[in-house]
Amino acid sequence: MKKFITGIMTIILITSCNSHRNNYIIKIYSGEYDAVGVPSGYINSKGDTIIPVGKYYYCYTDTVRNLGIVMEKGGRIIGIDRKGNELFEVFKYDNGPDYVSDGLFRIIKNGEIGYADINGKVKIKPQFNCAYPFKNGVAKVSKKCITEKMGEYSIWKSDNWFNIDKQGRQIKK
């Protein structure tokens, strides 16, 4: 009887681990290779289409467990979950999605910048006009700044910069 109960528990454990392991979507694309502009989409582990090929201009993320990054045809970069739901707009940096720095990356809502983590959770709601990436647990931000063009580049200028921690609290100097 003890072996029977152990066997049943093992089967339950294996089944629960397998169902969790298959809880993701995988990038597919048309053509011989994957590149920006080649239509791509996502399927689940059963082969069901979750996001049809061509819905987005480009899919950056190969395997989406919690968060995937995709680009719309107009150039807007968005974060999606494994069900294909759009979560937020991702800050565009260097012609692609913002880089993860200190576990966070920048997002945009109504023209304001905030931060999300690699699991797609918004950690600091968008509220800043300008916001730099986190470094050593601190980010430089401003609620009043201007963007100036310098050739093909832009710079932010403000007299009201301050630092925040990863909870969005202002750090006193």
* pLDDT tens profile 30-56: 888 888 878 899 999 899 999 999 999
Residue 95, both tokens: 């012609």
Amino acid (1-letter code) at residue 173: K
At 138 the pLDDT is: 98
At 21 the pLDDT is: 58
How does pLDDT run across 92-146, given as a tens digit for each residue?
A: 998 899 999 999 999 999 999 999 999 999 999 999 999 999 999 999 999 999 9
Which pairs from 98-104 meet CB under 8 Å and 24+ separation?
A: 98/133, 99/133, 101/133, 101/134, 101/135, 102/133, 102/134, 102/135, 102/136, 102/137, 102/166, 103/134, 103/166, 104/133, 104/134, 104/139, 104/166
Confidence of residue 3 (pLDDT cuts 50, 70, 90): very low
For 19, phi then psi, to 5°, come to: -65, -35
At 29 the pLDDT is: 87
Higher pLDDT, 173 or 29: 29
Q: What is the mean pLDDT of residues 14-43?
A: 76
Residue written as token pair 């590149």: 35
Choose the weakest-confidence range: 84-88, 124-128, 130-134, 150-154: 150-154
Distances (CA, A) of 143 to 72, 75, 108, 127, 153: 28, 25, 14, 7, 21
The answer, yes or no, to whether residue 72 has pLDDT greater than 80, is yes
Q: How would you classify residue 19: left for phi > 0, otherwise alpha for psi between -120 and 50, otherwise beta?
A: alpha
At 18 the pLDDT is: 46
At 169 the pLDDT is: 96
